[in-house]
Amino acid sequence: MVIRTIKELFLRDLDKLKKEISLYESESNMWIIDKNISNSGGNLCFHLIGNLKHFIGSQLGNTGYIRQRELEFSSKNIPRVQLLNEIDEVIEVVSRVLDSLSDQDFDKEYPLVVFKDKMTIGFFLIHLASHLNYHLGQINYHRRLLDV
């Protein structure tokens, strides 16, 4: 039940991420940085893709994905169609991995120490869902503020 709920939240918000990226009137506007806005919508999207491919795909699903976090923020002008395709890939990975977990897995230890201490898979999945939602809000605000 809990895993199914977490999966529904991830899929809902990844679908919203696709919509936000699609709603930019100009593809180049996804990459605008202005004043105190240090991350573009495009980079935040690329960051979310790398984050979920790494922490869910690679660590829980053994996909073999190798994360290059610095590129998530330094890459520019990635075509919108590529971002949308990669979001589709993340949706597939998250779906498959979460389908492979049981509610009992929720209480098992996550394989990496990401923060200060060890944590459960459930704790970290909830963190990742809130992290996705946080950056999704930033992308929405970026689009509405700078997509002129």
pLDDT, one tens digit per residue, over 30-63 is 999 988 888 999 999 999 999 999 999 999 999 9
- Residue pair 49/61 in contact by the 8 Å Cβ criterion: no
Three-class secondary structure of residue 109 per DSSP: strand
What is the CATH classification number for the domain harbouring 62?
1.20.120.450
Q: Within 13 Å, how many C-alpha atoms sit on residue 88's CB side?
A: 7
pLDDT above 70 covers what percent of the chain? 100
Q: Which residue has the higher pLDDT, 21 or 116?
A: 21
How many distinct structural domains can be found in the chain? 1
Mean pLDDT of 66-71: 95
| pLDDT tens-place string over residues 69-88 | 999 999 999 999 999 999 99
DSSP annotation of 88 reads H
pLDDT above 90 covers what percent of the chain? 91
For residue 128, give its domain range.
Answer: 2-146
| pLDDT tens-place string over residues 24-37 | 999 999 999 988 88
Q: Cα(139)–Cα(18) distance, rounded to whole angstroms?
A: 11
pLDDT at 76: 95
pLDDT at 135: 98
Close Cβ partners of 109 (under 8 Å, ≥ 6 residues apart): 118, 119, 120, 121
Q: Categorize the per-residue pLDDT at 117 as very low, low, confident or very high, splitting at 50, 70 and 90.
A: very high
